[in-house]
Amino acid sequence: MKTTFALLLLMISAPLWAQLPVADEFKTSKGPLKIQPLNHATMALTWNGKTIYADPYGGAKTFEGIATPDLIVITDIHGDHFDVSTLDVLDLSKAVIVAPQAVIDKMSDKLKAKTVAVNNGQTITKLDISITAIPMYNLPEAADAKHTKGRGNGYVLKFGDKTLYISGDTAGIPEMRALKNIDVAFVCMNLPYTMDVPEAASAVLDFKPKIVYPYHYRGANGMSDTEAFKKLVNEGNKSIDVRLRNWYTVK
């Protein structure tokens, strides 16, 4: 009876962790880097005793079981990246936020006091992490585009000897295609907001990350075909490790 009851308790408590996407761990020159996909464009990174959130979204439930953040990076003004309702319920007592000026302009005074502006082409260092803001924008460029050049940031983050790229909302822009020595990349693909599967695969084949995760792949017409993305990338370059994770688990 005790065994049955214990198993029942385990079954009740297990779904949160069962539903989380797989967390991956990479060796760096300054200890392991753990990557936990969470929701759409949201992930948690753990390194050197610190926890980093990228584009926290989806409310407190997204972060159940995840340590409170020491650093937050935000890419854009849209609600699936700059989610005020989520930021308001998180424990930000020790967090530094890094964001483009367009995001900061929409923040409350309380959030502004915790935030450092970084715009396209700029590099800062926080918590021993080098953070470089990379452009993210739609092609062809237009004043009424959903993402205009200079407003939002992709990010290149350096954790010891490992370099990680977060695309944010972007097309397969020249600045992405010109990236070098990226160990891990997160690349979006959701029409009509960013790019389709062939464009995303083409961009990845140009900058050749060692590992790439398709993320941010839910669009106006449902989910992008991540298996097709993997096939296109590996037909062009078998050495690129394409890792498919479910970024849309329900908790």
Does residue 78 form part of some domain?
yes
d(CA 58, CA 79) in angstroms, rounded, equals 10
Residue 113 dihedral angles phi and psi, to the nearest 5°: -65, -20
Does residue 12 form part of some domain?
no
Does residue 200 form part of some domain?
yes
Does residue 94 form part of some domain?
yes
Tokens of 242: 């394409």
Does residue 10 form part of some domain?
no
d(CA 57, CA 42) in angstroms, rounded, equals 6
pLDDT at 221 (0 to 100):
85
Does residue 250 form part of some domain?
no
Q: What is the pLDDT of residues 5-30, one digit of tens each?
A: 333 333 333 334 346 777 899 999 99
- The whole-chain average pLDDT of the chain stands at 92
CATH number of the CATH domain containing 75: 3.60.15.10
Q: What is the mean pLDDT of residues 73-100?
A: 97
DSSP 175-241: HHHT--S-SEEEEE--TTTS--HHHHHHHHHHH--SEEEEE--EETTEE--HHHHHHHHHHH-TTSE
Q: What is the pLDDT of residues 138-188, one digit of tens each?
A: 998 889 899 999 999 999 999 999 999 999 999 999 999 999 999 999 999
Total number of domains in the chain: 1
d(CA 37, CA 66) in angstroms, rounded, equals 11
Q: What percent of the chain has pLDDT over 90?
A: 85
Does residue 179 form part of some domain?
yes
d(CA 186, CA 201) in angstroms, rounded, equals 12
Q: Would you say residue 37 has pLDDT above 50?
A: yes
pLDDT at 6 (0 to 100):
39
Give the structural domain span for 101: 22-242
pLDDT at 98 (0 to 100):
98
Does residue 9 form part of some domain?
no
